[in-house]
């Protein structure tokens, strides 16, 4: 590990206007003044990316992905140049790089490229000159120097991958919230900021609806054991550390409660209960490019069964079309769909050794007269699909049961 | 020469909005359809460059030139990507490149870099695949992959340099006028579009106020004998060819009349007439970064003389301050300045062998009761400084004398 080397990532909202860029510059030089060597990863300014996408689709509704990457990568190039200027303005040395320039080598899967390798010489050279190095997030280039982008949330990935390759002390992710909370503070007023959380818990929370960091970058951080510090761009307070193992004073069963209202449920009724049927359904969806999330199939007592699953609401139309075709081929029954659902989940590594947690969760929902439509569990999370209108009540009740100080100390 | 290989350059106003980008795409594929192999150089969309400069100065009034180049080069990157998408939309293959990607190697004089070398392999490879190659104008990169820009008018230079290296048949410069005219058609209603003009004449006309192409790119074209075709983005009509030698049916004395109202005149009166005085004056101006244009010093009959010169109006304040200090050091007399001037010039290679042209020009001005304040001549041009209010009258009269069909045939 390189002591004193820190990678800091600032998202699009942190650099949304001239004043915020100056603010980020002040934050950065504050750390530089304390002697840290800094690599700063920046996203595109505010809504730049969306505006460029809109411009492209006006010109070509199906733009080539290579050209899309050429276009979108300008967003971060603008913000790194401006941040370097802002840092220079307050008297510190800074130099900006695009992904191509700095040597973030990716495969050629345009718009969703994977990082193959990062050349760190250029960065280390500039750090040794005492400069703050500003790197464009979200982008890289193929060995042939074609510009690529890493997909949504790609700037987090740039930061984590750089932190790994540079053997940084920490990777700081600056965002507009103060860290990871036990629940969304806008819904649960007594939600608490977590001091620490494990990669696994954060992964579950990310995929279950907490939108602070993209799952892919957490996976990479976990794989290479990169310590991540999620904190606020607008406050000096420490945020949440995402690390391998959390040593807590008392054992905590549940680290957080999440909510996700962006899914829809599809049920195929009276599916013939024979081998290969589920495979056929989900293969067709996969070929159609549909990401399926929860899947539930009940044990069947007859020769027929019901299969339910959830998909992103934005893909409901497409999924529904595919599934009606499959259902008719399989001679299955009715296809039902429901957009009025929410997924509430509890997440925590402590659950592994406490099987009673699931029962407690169902009990809380029952006491609040909330019907559970689907259940899905992992090692460290339990999710229930309920009617959307009960989502807030459910989250508050679950948080009250599992996440308040009093409850946790009692475990 | 590579037969059928054409470099086409479209300026910022030709790609100012979605509709115009689509229009350029249609133009380009029209040529591709005729079998030409095309390299298309594009400038930044409309006012993008100015907007980015404004953004930068809000963040740092004196931004570093390296970071300025990082910032500004995004402008062309956006337009090449969009043009490639627009061409793909109408069913042709296209691929875009930044200056760095395509291998336009420059020195490291950021914001005014000079091209050292162009690697043509990548372009030729893509042309051989049948693709239309779109290259970002105005930009390059150092060997160390720092992005550089070539200064105002740099896209013309990119086009001419590419045409030279690729041994293109022609370099077409698309603009919002239909070619080079004998005079500004907004002033002289019977101004004619020239079919051909020599590099030297075009150079004089560019430096004398005709703003179609930057002088530097014409110099390069002249040096390497690259045929340039200046023509309109909005019309299919042929424009003006800029070439080495113009073979005309009849000898033409004057190819065009130009006007420049952007200069101001400074006169230092009663300068001691001794060696080294002029040197001191113009050295101080040069150290101060002032570009001096015309210089006139009369033969002196006494021990004192007057020295007059012109500078860009925008630099008048700075030049005046320097010159007042020098004048007092030299114990010269009064320093006069005049912004109400215009330079009218006639340009033509035919003048070389016709010394009477100057006299004719002065005669035309005299007949129109226009006083001449300064005179300056070159091999192929004669310029007079007159009061600004007479500029239009002078240009019309000179055009009538030298440039109408009837007059030219009579020579």
Among candidates B312, B334, B323, B241, which has minimal Cα distance to B278?
Answer: B323
Residue range B43-63: mean pLDDT, rounded: 93
Residue B411 has a pLDDT of 37
Residue A251 has pLDDT above 80, yes or no: no
B contacts of A78 (beta carbons < 8 Å): 52, 71, 74
Tell me the average pLDDT across A65-85: 97
> Tens digits of per-residue pLDDT, B139-179?
999 999 999 999 888 999 999 999 999 999 999 999 888 89
Specify the pLDDT at position B210.
64
pLDDT of B410 strictly over 50:
no
Q: Which residues of chain B lie closer than 8 angstroms to A22, CB-CB?
A: 59
Please answer yes or no on whether B86 and A147 come within 8 Å at the CB atom: no
**Do residues A209 and A258 lie in contact, with contact meaning Cβ atoms separated by under 8 Å?**
yes
Mean pLDDT of chain A: 90
What's residue A394's pLDDT?
95
- Residue B21 touches chain A, beta carbons under 8 Å: yes
The interface predicted TM-score (ipTM) is: 0.82
pLDDT at A409: 43
Over chain B, what is the mean pLDDT?
90
Alpha carbon of A278: minimum distance to chain B alpha carbons (Å): 40
State residue B249's pLDDT score.
57
Q: Per-residue pLDDT tens for A89-113? A: 999 999 999 999 999 999 999 999 9
Residue A276 has pLDDT above 90, yes or no: no
- Chain A residue at shortest CA distance from B56: A82
Residues A371 and A401 sit within 8 Å (Cβ to Cβ) = no
Strands B37-42, A147-149: pairing is unpaired
Cβ of B59 within 8 Å of Cβ of A85? The answer is yes
Section A340-350 average pLDDT? 91
Q: What is the pLDDT of residue A208?
A: 67
Specify the pLDDT at position B206.
78
Number of residues that make up chain B:
411
A146 CB within 8 Å of a chain B CB: yes
Report the residue of B15, B19, B78 to disrupt the A interface, i.e. the one with the largest count of A CBs within 10 Å: B78
Q: How much is the pLDDT for B406?
A: 55
Whether residue B204 is predicted with pLDDT greater than 60 in this model: the reply is yes
User: Which chain A residue has its CA at the smallest distance from B141's CA?
Assistant: A101
Q: What is the pLDDT of residue A210?
A: 63
pTM for this model (two decimals): 0.84
- Our measurement of the distance from residue A259's CA atom to the centroid of its chain's CA atoms, rounded to an integer in Å, reads 14
Phi and psi angles of residue B86, each rounded to the nearest 5 degrees, phi first: -65, -40
Weakest mean pLDDT among A268-272, B241-245, B296-300, B382-386: B296-300
In chain A, what are the domains?
2-176 (3.40.1160.10)
Strand arrangement, sheet containing A304-312: A292-297, A304-312, A263-272, A335-338
Task: Pick from B19, B71, B126 the residue to mutate for testing the A interface (most A CBs within 10 Å).
Answer: B71
Return the pLDDT at B94: 98
| Residues A74, B71: C-beta atoms closer than 8 Å | no
State the best of B59, B83, B86 to mutate against chain A, taking most chain A CBs within 10 Å: B59
Q: By the 8 A CB rule, do B398 and B407 touch?
A: no
Q: How far is CA B70 from CA A81, B63, B117, in A?
A: 6, 11, 20
Q: How far is B89 from chain A (nearest CA, A)?
A: 6
Name the A residues in 40-69 with CB < 8 Å from any B CB. 52, 55-56, 58-60, 63-64, 66-68
* Region B180-194 average pLDDT: 90
Average confidence (pLDDT) over A165-169: 96
Chain A contact present for B82, CB below 8 A: yes
Nearest by CB to residue A67, choosing from B56, B73, B81, is B81
A89 → closest Cβ in B22, B59, B71: B59
Q: Is B52 in Cβ contact with A59 (below 8 Å)? A: no
User: Are residues A101 and B146, on separate chains, in Cβ contact within 8 Å?
Assistant: yes
Under 8 Å CB-to-CB from A249, ≥6 apart: which residues?
none
Strand partners, B170: B6
Any chain B CB within 8 A of the CB of A81? Answer: yes
């Amino acid at each position: 590990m390189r002591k004193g080397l820190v990678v800091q990532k600032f998202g699009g909202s942190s650099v949304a206007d001239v004043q915020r860029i100056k603010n980020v510059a002040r934050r950065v030089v504050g750390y530089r003044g304390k002697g840290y060597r800094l690599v700063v990863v920046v996203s595109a300014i505010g809504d730049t990316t969306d505006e460029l996408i809109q411009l492209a689709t006006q010109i070509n509704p199906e733009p080539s992905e290579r050209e899309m990457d050429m276009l979108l990568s300008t967003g971060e190039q603008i913000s790194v140049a401006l941040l370097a200027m802002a840092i220079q303005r307050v008297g510190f040395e800074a130099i900006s790089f695009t992904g191509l320039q700095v040597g973030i080598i990716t495969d050629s899967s345009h718009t969703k490229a994977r990082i193959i390798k990062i050349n760190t010489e250029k960065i280390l050279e500039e750090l040794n000159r005492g400069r703050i190095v500003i790197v464009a997030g979200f982008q890289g280039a193929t060995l042939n120097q074609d510009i690529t982008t890493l997909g949504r949330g790609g700037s987090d990935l740039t930061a984590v991958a750089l932190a790994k390759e540079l053997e940084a002390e920490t990777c700081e992710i600056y965002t507009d919230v103060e860290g990871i909370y036990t629940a969304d503070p806008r819904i649960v007023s007594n939600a608490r900021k977590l001091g620490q959380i494990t990669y696994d818990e954060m992964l579950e929370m990310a995929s279950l609806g907490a939108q602070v960091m993209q799952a892919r970058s957490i996976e990479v951080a976990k794989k290479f054991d990169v310590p991540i510090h999620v904190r606020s761009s607008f406050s000096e307070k420490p945020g949440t550390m995402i690390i391998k193992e959390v040593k807590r004073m008392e054992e905590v069963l549940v680290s957080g409660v999440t909510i996700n209202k962006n899914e829809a449920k599809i049920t195929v009724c009276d599916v013939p209960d024979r081998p290969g049927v589920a495979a056929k359904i989900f293969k067709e969806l996969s070929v159609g490019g549909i990401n399926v999330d929860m899947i539930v199939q009940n044990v069947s007592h007859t020769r027929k069964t019901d299969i339910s699953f959830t998909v992103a609401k934005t893909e409901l139309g497409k999924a529904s079309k595919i599934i009606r075709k499959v259902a008719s081929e399989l001679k299955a029954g009715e296809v039902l769909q429901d957009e009025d659902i929410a997924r509430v989940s509890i997440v925590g590594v402590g659950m592994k050794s406490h099987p009673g947690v699931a029962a407690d969760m169902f009990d809380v929902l029952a006491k609040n007269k909330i019907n559970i439509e689907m259940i899905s569990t992992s090692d460290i999370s339990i999710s229930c699909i309920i009617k959307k209108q009960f989502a807030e009540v459910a989250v508050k009740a679950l948080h009250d049961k599992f996440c308040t100080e009093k409850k946790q100390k009692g475990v």
